[in-house]
Amino acid sequence: MTQLSEYLAIAERAADLAVELIESGRETRRTLERKGDRDFASDLDLAVEDRLREFLAEATPDIPLLGEERGVSGGTGSPYEWVLDPIDGTVNLVHGLPTFCVSLGLTRDGDPVVGVVDAPSLGERFSAAAGLGASLSGDAIACSATDDLAEALVALPDFALADRSPAINAERMRLIADLVPRVQRIRLIGSAALELCWVAAGRFDATVHPQANLWDVAAGVVIAREAGAAVLDRRGEAFGPGSASVVAAAPALASELCERLAAAV
């Protein structure tokens, strides 16, 4: 517990540095670097990742870092690994929307155990460590107790791009068609990390990500777990090492959502 508390404090300091960079560059017109079909990183994504890599290499030299923009760097042999999305929701940021965040997680043997997600434009920071609970700007949070899908506000991911997008998007359209008559409402906000945190805070009753990159969800997974949400993969098994999908929900809803996702294949 003490070690995780120390790592959480380090993650909080890293998030402070990221927010400082974002705030200082908020009014600057962004330079974009294309990564693929309608997918890009801004100069701010790269600057934040580079700054946090530098800080974490000094603070925890034995722990490697997996970042969305630069890949893996650092030492090997540690059971721990930092997992960073410097800006989750880059398209939102570029278009002036407030729904973007810095997402920094720490995994142990591949399973998320520490998470900090900071949304600078919203003035909110979510944080958690395994066994220590989850908080929003220092106050404890808990997921919703909704037990009826008809009363659930459910977040879904943005649509896929590039080579596999037709098949992935066809599945997502089937999932939407299946859920629309069953749930209260559906929302797409364009940030997986924030969706998981909003499940943790009870704002969303669930979020379903049929495909997920670890850097998008690592921090949010531990935050949602510590807030009492069920966090599964699409097969209905507990999210863990190697998981590439996420269903996070009020506990009474999770299994049914996994069943609905299976029916959309």
* Beta pairing class for 153-155 and 206-209: parallel
d(CA 83, CA 104): 6
d(CA 238, CA 223): 15
Helix (H, G, I), strand (E, B) or coil at 64: coil
Nearest to 100 by CA among 36, 25, 202, 164: 25
DSSP secondary structure letter of residue 8 = H
Please name the residues in contact with 196: beta carbons below 8 A apart, sequence gap of 6 or more: 117, 207, 217, 219, 220, 221, 223, 224, 246, 248
Nearest to 108 by CA among 135, 129, 80: 80
Domain 2-140, CATH: 3.30.540.10
d(CA 82, CA 232): 21
Helix (H, G, I), strand (E, B) or coil at 229: coil
- Tell me whether the CATH fold assigned to 2-140 matches the one assigned to 149-263: no
Q: What is the pLDDT of residue 36?
A: 46
Q: Tokens at residue 8, please?
A: 């959480």
d(CA 194, CA 256): 22
Which CATH architecture does the domain made up of 149-263 adopt? 3-Layer(aba) Sandwich (3.40)
Q: Tokens at residue 192, please?
A: 């997986």
What is the Cα gyration radius of the chain?
Answer: 17
Q: Which residues of the chain have pLDDT under 50?
A: 36-39
Nearest to 83 by CA among 33, 32, 18, 11: 11
The amino acid present at 82, given as its one-letter code, is: W
Q: Tokens at residue 151, please?
A: 């009363």
d(CA 66, CA 156): 25
Helix (H, G, I), strand (E, B) or coil at 72: strand
Residue 123 falls in which region: left (phi positive, over 0), alpha (psi -120 to 50) or beta: left
d(CA 245, CA 214): 9
Q: Tokens at residue 141, please?
A: 């949070």
Q: What is the pLDDT of residue 38?
A: 44
Q: What is the pLDDT of residue 201?
A: 98
Phi, psi of 102 (to 5 degrees): -95, 130
Domain-wise residue ranges, the chain: 2-140, 149-263
Please name the residues in contact with 241: beta carbons below 8 A apart, sequence gap of 6 or more: 107, 109, 110, 111
